[in-house]
Structure formats: structure tokens, C-alpha cells
Amino acid sequence: MTGAMTEGTLFARLRAAAGPTWRSYCDHAFVRGLGDGGLPEAAFRHYLVQDYLFLIQFARAYALAAYKADDLDDMRAAAAAMSAIVDTEVALHVGYCRDWGLDAAAITAVPEDLPTTAYTRYVLDCGLGGDLLDLLVALAPCVVGYAEIGLTLAATPNALADTNRYRSWIEMYAGAEYQDVARQAVAQLDRVGARRGGEARFAALSRTFAQATRLEVAFWQMGLDAA
């Protein structure tokens, strides 16, 4: 999701406030390796396994979002997101892992790496200790950031070449379906922010957003360190 698509939104302001932290996330060496195909396969496999474990915890976060919602629209949005993860994305992810030589038994037998635990529990803690807006802000770097990264990589020369083994990953996050998910997340952030005093809380929300972004950086680095 490009800056033009989010201009004037709460997300855009949070991203701008994150400054270099956001750039270090979207332009991490792991991300560049996806774009040019140079990422070591061992790094990507470790990432894939941890991303599976990550998805399970994010499903819990959306269950919490449904509990924290104070109207049916936000409750439906949270329930739909949780259902999409539990009923569709987990199975798709397992299938994708299989293409990389990782079967379901191998994935589920691996414990969470520390960056996975740190990131997902931080998101849940934001939701448990705060309200729906706090939780959505903590989720935003992942949900919307992957859309931005996908579009950026798709525009990189040769990233979508048949020779790039990570082409399908890029296409998934640059694709229309995921871009629509990100747009809905940005719009919901604006709606909830307007209802829950987002402007008065901007400094605190910025700290949450920046910390979640730093944890995203650590998640990429975890993959590189495993290579």
C-alpha cells in the first residue's frame, strides 16, 4: 500500500512518526533478499515456520479485538479476520511451507523463537491493557506494512521474474486481495480512532506503533540469523 493510498489517514501519520524505524522495517536486508532472490533459503524456511506460529497468535489477537469492539461492524470485522486466519490462511500457509519441504508435523513441532513470542505477546498485551484502538495500532505495522512491502518489491526490477524463488510471496502481498485487506485495516483504524479520541492519544499510539515496528524488524532479523 503506497503512501498515496494512505495519505491523510491515522496510519499515515503513525508511519511518518515512526520515521527511520519504519524504513528499517520495509527496507530490511531480509526484504531486499526477497526482491532480488538472494535471501538464503534457510532464512526463508525459518521465517515460514515462525510465521505459521505467528498466525496462530494473531488469530487470538483478532478474537480479542471482537471482545474489545463496541459495535457490530467492528465485531464483524474482527470475527472475519479471525475466521480468515483459522479457516483459510493457516491451511494455505501449511501448503506453501510444503512447497519448501516443510510438512505440517515439522512446522508444529518447532517452538516459538524469541522474536515471535516477543512480538505476538506485545500485540496481545496492548489489547488486554488497552482498548480496540490500542490493539489495532499494534497490529497495523504487520497488516498494512506487508501490503506496502509487497507493492514495493513488485515494482523492483526482476523481482517478479520466473528465476526469483520468492516471486509467489511477493505476488501474494502485492495482489489485489491482500491490498484490499490493508485498505480495510487503514479505514477501520480511522473509524475507531475518531470514536476513541485518537488525536488526544496520538503520542501514546505512536509509541505503540513504533515498538510494534521494531518488533517487525526483529522478526526479519530472526530469519537472517537462522541462515
| Model confidence pLDDT, tens digit, residues 145-162 | 999 999 999 999 999 999
Closest-CA residue to 217 (of 102, 136, 122, 94): 122
Using pLDDT thresholds of 50, 70 and 90, give the confidence band for residue 56: very high
Active site (annotated) includes residue 216? yes
Using pLDDT thresholds of 50, 70 and 90, give the confidence band for residue 4: low
Using pLDDT thresholds of 50, 70 and 90, give the confidence band for residue 27: very high
Give the pLDDT score at 197. Answer: 84
- Measure CA 86 to chain center: 16
Angle separating helix axes 176-195 and 10-18, nearest 10 degrees: 100
Domain CATH code at residue 77:
1.20.910.10
Tell whether the model's pLDDT for residue 32 goes beyond 60: yes
Report the sign of the C-alpha dihedral through residues 186, 145, 214, 114, in that order. Answer: positive
State the pTM of this model: 0.94
Could you tell me the residue range of the domain that residue 176 belongs to? 3-225
Catalytic residue among 97, 126, 142, 148: 142
Q: What is the mean pLDDT of residues 76-92?
A: 93
In sequence order, the 6+-apart residues with CB closer than 8 A to the CB of 125 are: none
- Report whether 120 contacts 61 (CB < 8 A): yes
Total number of domains constituting the chain: 1
Using pLDDT thresholds of 50, 70 and 90, give the confidence band for residue 5: low
Which DSSP category does 14 fall into? H
- Report whether 192 contacts 74 (CB < 8 A): yes
By mean pLDDT, which of 9-23, 97-111, 123-137 is the weakest?
97-111
* b/e per residue 95-108 (b: at least 16 CB within 10 A): ebbeeeebeeeebe
Q: What is the mean pLDDT of residues 21-42?
A: 97
Active site (annotated) includes residue 142? yes
